[in-house]
């Protein structure tokens, strides 16, 4: 993440995203020829993972800076693509595995990933309205962000959120089996959760773009609702009950995604958005890596997923409480990420002095 933001600041979003698309396709392509597990770590894990980071950070930062007045809605529409692709690949990948084997499946996924090169070429390097085409030479970068108190609290909030966020997506099918669902019904629960996830992303972006919206308050509300839905998941002891709760969780969890990235601009300003998103990705990975294994360990210790989901919900609620400490929560921000994400006037942005 930080590497993608630094490179896109130096060279522009378009070339970095195009290189990232090539690396992601190359990693999957080389993975198809692996003869040892370490080869997959290096190709699919390291190379393709690096490529995706080089695509994601510049692309999302570009969307956030190109649509300052409707940043939440634009981000919601952009990240909803992940839900669409998830729904498509869910049934497609098993079909590819059955038809072509894992090597053939990786080759076909590599061909899909190479299309990111063309997608990255569409990131036209136009100056953002009301902003200087070139950033000031003394503009704070990654190091200054690491000393910015509100940004660090915001990042910590989403480390905690991500520690719980992915648990239903990773362990949801196993929980469905635990309550007596067969493979078909378990798959239906996961597909339904993924489908409403995309709807939640667009809906939350649209709601947060309303003239009276204060984005951080929307973000707090959705984080609380997501945590509460996760706490209630253990109550789904039948297919119908679990499906209803999974739908509620999927919608709320999807709503968090665009507001999370649009909220970065509220905290640090639009001019530092790309750097901040890169650092956010790095910090969040710790929470993402912690949550699902911890939930699995708790399931092994207790014999069911009840405590796992309760702990995950507690992480989400703890993260939401940190959002309350941000300086823009109880009043309208006037910086680059002010109300509705409006850009600052022309000229250098104020320094990142932590309040």
10 Å CB burial of residue 334 (0-12, 13-18, 19+) is exposed
Domain ranges of the chain: 1-120+141-324
Predicted confidence at residue 354, as pLDDT, reads 42
Q: Which residues of the chain have pLDDT under 70?
A: 126-141, 210-213, 270, 328, 331-355
How high is the pLDDT of residue 233?
92
HSE-up of residue 58 (Cα within 13 Å, Cβ side) = 31
CATH class of the 1-120+141-324 domain in this structure = mainly alpha
**What's the rounded Cα separation, in Å, for the pair 93 and 105?**
7
Residue 322's alpha-carbon distances to 59, 153, 223, 330, in angstroms, are 27, 7, 11, 13
Return d(Cα 287, Cα 84) in angstroms, integer: 25
Q: Give the pLDDT score at 141.
A: 66
Residue 102's pLDDT is 92
Q: Is 134 helix (H, G, I), strand (E, B) or coil?
A: coil
Nearest CA to 89 out of 116, 109, 103, 107 is that of 109
> What's the pLDDT score for residue 227?
94
Spatial distance between the Cα atoms of 255 and 187, rounded to a whole number of angstroms: 22
Whole-prediction pTM: 0.75
Cα gap 215→218, rounded to integer Å:
5
**Residues 83, 197: contact at Cβ < 8 Å?**
yes
Q: What does the pLDDT look like over 319-329, one tens digit per residue?
A: 999 999 888 67
Query: Alpha-carbon distance 243 to 176, whole Å?
Result: 9
Report d(CA 201, CA 72) in Å as an integer. 10
User: What is the structure's pLDDT at 94?
Assistant: 81
Alpha helices (runs of H) in 269-334, residue ranges in sequence order: 273-302, 306-323
The pLDDT of residue 126: 63
Q: What is the pLDDT of residue 242?
A: 92
- Of 229, 243, 244, which Cα lies nearest the Cα of 185? 243
N residues, the chain: 355
CB 127 within 8 A of CB 62: no
């Amino acid at each position: 993440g930080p590497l993608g933001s630094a490179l896109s600041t130096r060279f522009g979003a378009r070339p970095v995203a195009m290189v990232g698309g090539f690396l992601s396709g190359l990693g999957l392509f080389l993975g198809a020829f692996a003869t040892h597990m370490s080869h997959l770590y290096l190709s699919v894990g390291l190379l393709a993972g690096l490529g995706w980071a080089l695509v994601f950070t510049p692309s999302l930062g570009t969307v956030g800076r190109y649509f300052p007045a409707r940043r939440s809605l634009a981000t919601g529409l952009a990240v909803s693509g992940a839900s669409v692709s998830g729904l498509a690949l869910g049934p497609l990948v098993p079909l590819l595995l059955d038809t072509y084997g894992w090597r053939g499946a990786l080759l076909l996924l590599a061909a899909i990933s190479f299309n990111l090169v063309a997608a990255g070429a569409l990131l036209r390097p136009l100056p953002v309205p009301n902003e200087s085409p070139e950033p000031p030479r003394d503009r704070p970068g990654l190091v200054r962000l690491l000393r910015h108190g509100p940004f660090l609290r915001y990042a910590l909030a989403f480390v905690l959120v991500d520690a719980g966020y992915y648990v239903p997506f990773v362990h949801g099918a196993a929980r469905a089996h635990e309550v007596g669902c067969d493979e078909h019904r378990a798959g239906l629960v996961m597909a339904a959760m993924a489908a409403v996830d995309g709807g939640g992303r667009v809906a939350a972006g649209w709601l947060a773009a309303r003239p009276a919206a204060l984005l951080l308050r929307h973000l707090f509300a959705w984080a609380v609702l997501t945590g509460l839905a996760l706490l209630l998941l253990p109550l789904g002891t039948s297919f119908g009950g679990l499906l209803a709760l999974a739908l509620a969780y999927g919608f709320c969890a999807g709503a968090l995604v665009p507001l999370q990235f649009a909220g970065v601009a509220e905290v640090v300003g639009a001019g530092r958005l790309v750097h901040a998103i890169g650092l956010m990705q790095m910090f969040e990975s710790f929470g993402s890596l912690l949550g699902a294994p911890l939930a699995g360990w708790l399931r092994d210790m207790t014999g069911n997923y009840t405590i796992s989901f309760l702990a995950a919900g507690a992480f989400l609620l703890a993260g939401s409480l940190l959002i309350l400490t941000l300086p823009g929560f109880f009043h309208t921000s006037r910086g680059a990420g002010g109300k509705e994400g409006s850009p600052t006037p022309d000229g250098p942005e104020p320094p990142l002095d932590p309040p």
